[in-house]
Amino acid sequence: MKSSMIKTSFGLLLSTFLSLSLASADAPPKETPPNIVFFFADDQTTDTLGCYGNAVIKTPNIDQLAARGTRFENAFVSQPICWVSRTSILTGLTGRSYGEKDRPEFARPDAVETLYSDLLRRSGYRTGYFGKWHAKMPKDFVRQDHFDEFEAIGRNPYYKKQADGSLRHETEVIVDRGVEFIQNQPAGKPFALNLWFNACHAEDNDRRPGIGHFPWPRTVDGMYDDVTIAPPRLNDPAIFDSLPGFLQTTIGRERYFWRWNTDQKYQTNMRSYYRMVSGIDGAIGRFMAALESAGLADNTIIVYSADNGYYMANRGLAGKWSHYDEAIRVPLIVMDPRLPAEAKGKTTAALATNLDFPATFLDWADVEIPQRYQGRSLVPITTGNVPSDWRSETFHEHFAERKRIPAFEGLRSDRYKYVRYFDHGNHEFLHDLKNDPNELVNLVDDPKHAATLSEFRDRTTKKVAALGGPLNPLKAFSESTAPHPKASANVSAKLDREGFVRVFDGKTLKGWDGDKAYWSVQDGALTGVTDGSLKSNRFITWKHSTIRNFELRVKVKVTAGGNSGLQYRGTSRPDLGLDIVSGYQCDVVAKVPKYNGMLYEEKGRRILAHANEKVVVDADGNSWVVGKLNDDNFASAAFDTNQWHDYRVLVEGNHHRHWIDGRPTADLIDLDEKGRSLEGVLAVQVHVGPAMKIQYKDFKIKHLPDDLDLLEPDEVQIPADAYGVRPQGRLPKSWKAPIYGQR
């Protein structure tokens, strides 16, 4: 009996085991959760990608992602500023919903206790974060606790010194970390990797056009040098003039003068910005190759987007921060290699926001999406199945840096956009996006749109209430700039009673950029020292602004054999070195009167006027001596070494003048339109040659009005007996100066 029962029980167990085994064999294998890589750029509009229609920029790797995935034509951010946009992605909440009541741009502890990365980790994902963080978290928040691997990699500076002493751009360093992350990925474990770039954000404290303000990876040196970038699409001054005063005087206008306000500056900075984008693209290509090499590409979803848009001189503005589409629209590309061919290479007009990202990531990972999230998963859209109840409008706001940036709130549908600037008398905008896609006409006062205005106004009020309610009134607002300053270089400058800007603080190299192997502060002076082994001149450059029309004053002391110069209206030359500058120069040469205080030009024209010469450079670039500035005793003026001397440079339009200790040393009118420069950076140099020490102190500059008249050829007389300036270098003994009247 007992044996029979045992046999029966064994039979039942065997039968059950076999049935389960057969059922398991018949069931489809469970899919491996996909890996997720999120590339996130800074300050990028859709206008700067090839796949969005830019025919100039080179972004083949990002374009390829779009060709293999879904490109969103209507992706927006809820708030167009770095840290709020980024925190919204981490939390799934708008700034108004995650922020403190009195400081809404600062996250509450409960709102950031669990990030989407935490939810992915709990479900078995290995998570990584490398790059820009810039989120205003609670005091006790520990960033690295929310990721398996974390490294904040910022700018300031963009070029990171490596163990071997070389410099590497942050874009490349971030992708280096990403490649290392996937190379160390355990088999069979899914991962979610965030690579959040600082590019294409400008170096705001370095306003030198080009590689100073928009530093690019050196792998793209020279790219776009042969391209003339088209002017801003919304470049008509009337567009800026139509803005309300509080938008004309905000930091968007202030920074316009830092980077876009002249054709030369615009071209230089746009080329540099494009290089930053192409630098990101190249780094993404390198990562994709590493992903393929690791055997992970077929199960890795790639997302590319940006934290906000960018004006790039449209509407006469810089930055982001306001309600127009240039600020809130961003690129969004999703490439899921698991989807069938018919689902790839698609574009969608469905409205997407940065709030959708965390819900989408969790959906891919088959993790429950928290009820508090204010976005929705984009997965159905990427598979071509837009839900019937998909959103028909998006909410937008801005309240960060509220004392300096006008705050607004409003709604955008596919037809209309409504916003109100609630700290400025509830100033309202209503745009018809179908008939006025550039948002140039405000329909608020149009009776035909009164019902639409009222409807959007009410819906905005209800949305604000649902997200946390109105913000407390602002106590004071600070304007950043005059809409049209007399001297644009004075924007954000601190002037003394005489109108001068202090260039050097007498204590540190703050505000200057150069190789510290040659430059330091000694005895309260900006000091350059060389040992006589220099192979090329080395510069240190002032970063605060470019200079156009100005008066410069500085005390200078140089050792015997020393050779230096005050470089102005200069241009950065990264092709020669990160610290190299070319431009006009007031020479500082010990014990050589014919050179000390002369006007030299590093760009290639070389000596324009020896000291004591009054010169006119004609329209063809030839320099003619038209007179002397001092009597014949000038040659004995040695300007002794190891003593302080007062140097003064005055540049008004195309008229240049130099003085040393009150004695004029150069007076030149530059009529050469092709060769001259009307704006550039300020720098000083140490020169090849004997060992030397050069010192500058009491360094200050007065920026004169931008619109000073230029002298024209018909206003400047060159006498028939004027003779050519002696060229630099050895000349044959038979050389004679050409005579103007004998040309």
Do 154 and 287 lie in one domain? The reply is: yes
Mean pLDDT, range 624-652, rounded to an integer: 86
Do 232 and 304 lie in one domain? The reply is: yes
Do 522 and 587 lie in one domain? The reply is: yes
What is the full DSSP assignment across 51-111? GGT-SSS--HHHHHHHHTSEEESSEE-SS-SHHHHHHHHHHSS-HHHHB-SSSTTSBPTTT
pLDDT of res. 295: 96
Full residue range of the structural domain in which residue 452 is found: 407-473
633's CB contacts (< 8 A; 6+ apart) are none
Residue 2 lies in a domain: no
pLDDT of 94 above 90 = yes
Tokens standing for residue 174: 């971030």
Mean pLDDT, range 29-48, rounded to an integer: 90
Residue 23 lies in a domain: no
Residue 12 lies in a domain: no
Q: 638: pLDDT confidence band, cut at 50, 70 and 90?
A: low
pLDDT of res. 636: 55
Residue 145 lies in a domain: yes
CATH no. for residue 168? 3.40.720.10
pLDDT of 28 above 70 = no
pLDDT of res. 637: 60
Q: What is the pLDDT of residues 372-395, one digit of tens each?
A: 999 999 999 999 989 999 999 999
Residue 204 lies in a domain: yes
Q: How far is CA 281 from the centre of its chain?
A: 16
Do 379 and 411 lie in one domain? The reply is: no
Q: What is the pLDDT of residues 138-158, one digit of tens each?
A: 999 999 999 999 999 999 899
Question: Residue 157, preceding bond cis, omega within 30 degrees?
Answer: yes
H or E element, residue 429 = strand 427-432
- The total of structural domains in the chain comes to 3
Q: Identify the three-state secondary structure at position 40.
A: strand
Do 423 and 531 lie in one domain? The reply is: no
Do 566 and 677 lie in one domain? The reply is: yes
What is the full DSSP assignment across 539-608? EEEE-S--BSSEEEEEEEEE-TT-EEEEEEEEEE-TTT-TT-EEEEEEEEETT-TTTTT-EEETTTTEEE
Ordered alpha helix ranges (H), 92-212: 95-98, 116-122, 170-183
Do 619 and 661 lie in one domain? The reply is: yes
Do 295 and 424 lie in one domain? The reply is: no
Residue 667 lies in a domain: yes
Among residues 127, 155, 157, which one has the least CA distance to residue 143? 127
Q: Is the dihedral of CA 207, 161, 82, 41 positive or negative?
A: positive
Q: What is the pLDDT of residues 504-534, one digit of tens each?
A: 999 999 999 999 999 999 999 999 999 999 9
Angle, CA 538 vertex, CA 590 and CA 694 arms, to 5°: 30
Residue 489 lies in a domain: no
Q: What is the pLDDT of residues 236-283, one digit of tens each?
A: 999 999 999 999 999 999 999 999 999 999 999 999 999 999 999 999
Angle, CA 343 vertex, CA 337 and CA 345 arms, to 5°: 80
What is the full DSSP assignment across 619-646? TTS-EEEEEESS-GGGGG----TTS-EE
Q: Looking at the whole model, is its pTM more than 0.85?
A: yes
What's the distance, Cα to Cα, between the start and end of the chain in Å?
A: 132
Residue 732 lies in a domain: no
